[in-house]
Amino acid sequence: MLQRLFVWKIAIVILVASIGAYAAKAQQAQAPPISKAVYWMSIEPAAEFYLVEKDYGNFRLTVVSKKDLKVSYHTSINSLEPVDKDLMPVSSSDEGIRSYEFRHTFTKMTIWMALEFTLDGKSIPGLTRTFSNDINSVVPNGYFHYGPVKKP
């Protein structure tokens, strides 16, 4: 009888420990899924850029810089209809970390996208990145047209 009672106590302790371990695991924050990510940096102005494709077509750009860099997203639909958006930060910190979220799907209609950076209203070509087909394929700036059309 005493032996059965001891076995039951051990079984209950194991059950409670298992439930506790499962609850602790369930409460841990899950890392967001990342499909692809790229990084680039600049010495002047001092800045770091992290572009992450969280899942299909959902991007997060994190800019680390003490300078107030503005970000514009460019693409064109079927090479005819330009899309130009000034991105607004979804979060920012006093340390100069700003995060932006936007959507872009690389398709036959929107084969490319560019992220243009400006400081005090002036474009900084060295920071701008143009991507073709996905964020791992960087092409020279100006390969696709974006920005105001220059008239002769």
pLDDT over 70, % of the chain: 71
Q: Among residues 83, 78, 121, 85, which one has the least CA distance to residue 101?
A: 85
Q: Among residues 4, 135, 140, which one has the least CA distance to residue 61?
A: 135
Q: pLDDT tens digits, residue range 17-54?
A: 566 556 555 555 565 555 689 999 999 899 999 999 98
CB < 8 Å & 24+ apart, contacts of 119-128: 119/45, 119/67, 119/68, 119/69, 119/70, 123/147, 124/42, 124/45, 124/69, 126/42, 127/40, 127/42, 127/47, 127/49, 127/69
Q: Among residues 74, 126, 117, 67, which one has the least CA distance to residue 97?
A: 67
Residue 82 to residue 76: CA distance in whole angstroms: 4
Mean pLDDT of 56-79: 91
CB 59 within 8 A of CB 50: no
Q: pLDDT tens digits, residue range 125-146?
A: 899 999 999 998 899 887 887 6
Task: Give the residue carrying structure tokens 């079984």.
Answer: 11
Residue 73 to residue 103: CA distance in whole angstroms: 10
